[in-house]
Amino acid sequence: MSDTPVRMEDRPSVVERAFQIAKSGKVENVSALQAQLAAEGYANSTQALAGRALSNQLMRMITEARTPK
């Protein structure tokens, strides 16, 4: 892994990153996803993910990723 810092314009948008995290199965719910985004420096994650439809979609993705196949 590189020690080169990621420039803001080189990283995914907050919503794109939320989808990546949700699909990873590494978080249990949308609150944990928002905490992960905040830890990664996405200061506007709460506002960006505030919509009910988006939150529901993310929760479905998290559930699917965490369900054993």
The per-residue pLDDT for range 8-23, each reduced to its tens digit, is 678 999 999 999 999 9
Question: Which element (helix H / strand E) includes 1?
Answer: none
With respect to residue 31, please indicate whether it lies within any of the assigned structural domains. yes
With respect to residue 6, please indicate whether it lies within any of the assigned structural domains. no
CB burial of 6-36 (b: ≥16 within 10 Å; e: otherwise) equals eeeeeeeebeebbbebbeeeebeebeebbeb
- In terms of residue numbers, what domain contains 33? 13-66
Per-residue pLDDT tens digits for 33-68: 999 999 999 998 889 999 999 999 999 999 999 999
For residue 5, what pLDDT is reported?
Answer: 61
With respect to residue 56, please indicate whether it lies within any of the assigned structural domains. yes
For residue 9, what pLDDT is reported?
Answer: 72
Tokens of 47: 């506002």
With respect to residue 4, please indicate whether it lies within any of the assigned structural domains. no
With respect to residue 5, please indicate whether it lies within any of the assigned structural domains. no
DSSP assignment letter at 12: P
The whole-angstrom separation of Cα 4 and Cα 46 is 27
Sign of CA dihedral 36, 42, 45, 48: negative
